[in-house]
Structure 1
């Protein structure tokens, strides 16, 4: 036996702890600060401003669903207004009193009715699968547009469900586990501020918006989101890779419809009435579908945060202008040709769409990603060796598509 000592190999040096991305930390800190601010908003703003913020959150929920369909799955849809009407009608019917002789109701718990509205809307979207699975582009857009006209027709005809266009129908006030989101029930204060209907509805809508946002981000980074993007990029290649193209398209349409149904239920709670309006600026007409499409284009197709920002612009601008115009006397004209907050807002977001298409097709999300990358590069040490190019530097990763 050799008496030459065999030197044991040196233990592998411990791997350095992965450096935290300062941009990612700042982003998470920013989201946390934003959430705290939104929780504190009802303590400082009056009911009118809270009402405006609630309407922005309605737009955010609906826009998230549409950006998943148009941006992630690559399916053009103009039927969002139809599913808003379907969700609002489903909530009103499910929660409506069963002993009302004028309209039909099932008398279910409002919380259960809200879930039922989402399920009914998703089912209607799934029923559209034979069409959405076989059409694409402008052909799918035109086919989906027909749903808006059908929805208005049946909504105005089925007076037992919607109450018709003359009087409409009031929804059952929302309550959760017996706690009412109205001025009825137990009264309490937070930091000396009474929490009444406006504040309670704000917190309810904020909770629904956060849930919708988190679920959408999870879907984008999951296997489902990857299948949507594969179908969007190349249906033949996706089929070769084992993706069921028709099933993926149907699933995307159902998910988008579920989001629209939730936004529709929130809409009837916000307006406190269900009324299938056919006026120029009605709640369920083609103009609403176009407004939601504007939200996702301005925010950036496929970007979940971008959809929320687009909703703040499109849904928030008319609300803010209305509040200021009431105080300052702006846009107070009436009749044909009068400048109204809604009309001015239409001009603004129409111009925004043109600017986005011409100069930044990726929308506000692409601008945010560019700023984020530059901030990340500026924080690197000049003497450090540059890391290998990642997919985030060379293109859009699946996770980045939802940012």
Structure 2
């Protein structure tokens, strides 16, 4: 097509715009649509078949991948990824009975599922080569998995994208490979769904949490690091694929419609976890995850709702733990008293509340970085103070660096949590008992958070967080509102600390540092809130679970976990600054909405009118 430049008087020839296919924009790779679909399906079927073959000849590699017709561990993950890829591909092609899988995007979920399967297969190949010492230890099944998983990705990248290229977008006029790849992973908003009967909606919620319990149980029960890494790869890509398919948005609407049912189903599924375990090996990890998660949720009141950067929050957890330990009847406690559990909980929560008010009253008049520095100093003062209350440097209260040890197990209504008990035919160990107790406190803390968030004071917190000057102009007492948030967050942390003291059976100052190898500590708590999503209920719970579970399962990253977490946060801030679970306000704040801040026409005219 020829165009004339009126200034230069020359004629330039430009290529005609590429016609858009009704099914979407061209794929990342120049493949015909039918060939891309055939290649993707053939690769996924081949990957599925490879899991029925032996991947290595020796049982020295963890999992024993030497059997035919009996996939295990990493083979099972690869098999699941290939089935998910096939299901998304058939659903995108309109196969009856599977269309509900892709109410939104059709190509993006196929590509992401293929990448997840490829990641698991190639990671397994690399792990076998490293552990056993070379590719010579591969059996035919491993070579087939490597080749067919790559074939699946090539075919998926040739599928037409869900979203057509926008000629008005300068970044897409001459897109490179990376821009085309990122564009292929975009998916439009899901179409309006047909209204389901009430029983079907409730069944969908119940099944979703049942699947979530199965996935979490599988991940926490992984016996070796290689399998856990493969699990993370598949779950990460699989969850993103479900989101791009539009299923996550559909589920979010159902859970928003049935909030109380969702709340109940979530905690019923969590309560079933100890009954899936045959020992206390992993219930101990789960109990500590709940402690870490509930403390992070308390910090979310301070950081996520009120917008106060608190770098010494773990000190409030320590105040509650020390208060409970002093009245627990331990033979190392200087008080020599033994309160009932309910009184110990009130003591720990009350002590943290008092410390929160005492520390917050003089410091909350500061803002931003100054407030962060002061709270960081308070956290260190608490730790050093507990070390000095040893009878030598100060009064004999906490036994100094030795802490308070031999904290007795809790006895609630004659039920000793430190002993094994048989419930519904399943033997529950001590950590399972404490897990269920901590789950009860999690329900209380989540309920308090939800009620506070929707209350008048919760709206005042959000107003102060967004613009304190404007909030004060509207009649909100900024200092009082922030002090309430600080005190409530401290109280919730102290409540969790009372249970932590009995779970760990000892309390020492080293447990409450700003940065420590083993969480909870202030840095990890803040990272959990940011990673999961500030201002949400499920965000800090998920973020805390990941930050605690990954180091617990991958011991070899102990020396590098701070580096890896820092890198993860940098990538998160670049590609998903609102966190893994974000509320609507954060999505609008961190992502473009397509609305113009300033009209582009003349004065008083919009672009269309101009």
* TM-score computed with the length of structure 2 as normaliser: 0.50
Alpha-carbon separation, structure 1, partners of 2:251 and 2:530? 29
Aligned residue for 2:571, secondary structure, equals helix
Flag the 1:24–1:299 CA change in 2: closer, same or farther, 3 A.
same
> Is 1:355 matched with 2:590?
no
In angstroms, what is the RMSD of aligned CA positions? Answer: 2.8
Q: CA deviation at 1:236?
A: 2.2
Flag the 1:314–1:189 CA change in 2: closer, same or farther, 3 A.
same
Higher relative CO (Cα under 8 Å, sequence separation at least 6) belongs to 1
Alpha-carbon separation, structure 2, partners of 1:393 and 1:200? 51
Q: CA deviation at 1:135?
A: 0.7
Aligned residue for 2:292, secondary structure, equals helix
Aligned residue for 1:365, secondary structure, equals coil
Alpha-carbon separation, structure 1, partners of 2:467 and 2:384? 37
Q: CA deviation at 1:286?
A: 0.8
Match of 2:513 in 1: 285
Which runs of no fewer than 5 residues in structure 2 stay unpaired? 1-197, 202-249, 391-395, 516-520, 596-610
Flag the 1:93–1:164 CA change in 2: closer, same or farther, 3 A.
same
- Tell me, yes or no, if the aligned pair for 1:126 and 1:254 is still in contact at 8 Å: yes
Q: How does 1:292-331 map to 2 (within 5 A)?
A: 292-322=525-555, 331=556
Alpha-carbon separation, structure 2, partners of 1:150 and 1:188? 42
After alignment, is 158-167 or 347-356 more displaced? 158-167
Match of 2:254 in 1: 25
Match of 1:154 in 2: 385
Match of 2:478 in 1: 245
Match of 1:128 in 2: 359
- Tell me, yes or no, if the aligned pair for 2:403 and 2:509 is still in contact at 8 Å: no
- Tell me, yes or no, if the aligned pair for 2:290 and 2:435 is still in contact at 8 Å: no
> Is 1:42 matched with 2:274?
yes
Q: CA deviation at 1:264?
A: 2.2
Q: How does 1:180-219 map to 2 (within 5 A)?
A: 180-183=416-419, 188-219=421-452
Flag the 1:23–1:101 CA change in 2: closer, same or farther, 3 A.
closer
- Tell me, yes or no, if the aligned pair for 2:332 and 2:405 is still in contact at 8 Å: no
Aligned residue for 2:376, secondary structure, equals helix
> Is 1:234 matched with 2:234?
no
| Alignment counterpart, residue 401 of structure 2, candidates 165, 168, 180 | 165
Aligned residue for 2:282, secondary structure, equals helix
| Alignment counterpart, residue 509 of structure 2, candidates 268, 273, 276 | 276
Q: In the TM superposition, what whole-angstrom CA distance separates every residue of 1:334-353 from its partner, at most 9, and x where no partner exists?
A: xxxxx53xx34433332221
Structure with larger Rg: 2
Flag the 1:233–1:172 CA change in 2: closer, same or farther, 3 A.
same
Alpha-carbon separation, structure 2, partners of 1:393 and 1:113? 54
After alignment, is 195-204 or 163-172 more displaced? 163-172
- Tell me, yes or no, if the aligned pair for 2:325 and 2:333 is still in contact at 8 Å: no
| Alignment counterpart, residue 335 of structure 2, candidates 87, 104, 110 | 104
Q: CA deviation at 1:22?
A: 7.0
- Tell me, yes or no, if the aligned pair for 2:325 and 2:404 is still in contact at 8 Å: no
Aligned residue for 2:335, secondary structure, equals coil
- Tell me, yes or no, if the aligned pair for 2:332 and 2:404 is still in contact at 8 Å: no
- Tell me, yes or no, if the aligned pair for 2:296 and 2:528 is still in contact at 8 Å: yes
Aligned residue for 1:95, secondary structure, equals coil
Aligned residue for 1:303, secondary structure, equals coil
Alpha-carbon separation, structure 2, partners of 1:180 and 1:393? 59
Alpha-carbon separation, structure 2, partners of 1:273 and 1:101? 10
Q: In the TM superposition, what whole-angstrom CA distance separates every residue of 1:79-110 from its partner, at most 9, and x where no partner exists?
A: 1121121111011112235xx58622432112
* TM-score computed with the length of structure 1 as normaliser: 0.75
After alignment, is 100-109 or 125-134 more displaced? 100-109
Q: CA deviation at 1:196?
A: 3.1
- Tell me, yes or no, if the aligned pair for 1:132 and 1:249 is still in contact at 8 Å: no
After alignment, is 227-236 or 141-150 more displaced? 227-236
- Tell me, yes or no, if the aligned pair for 1:126 and 1:253 is still in contact at 8 Å: yes
Flag the 1:270–1:319 CA change in 2: closer, same or farther, 3 A.
farther
Q: In the TM superposition, what whole-angstrom CA distance separates every residue of 1:167-196 from its partner, at most 9, and x where no partner exists?
A: 64232322323432111xxx6422321233
> Is 1:175 matched with 2:404?
no
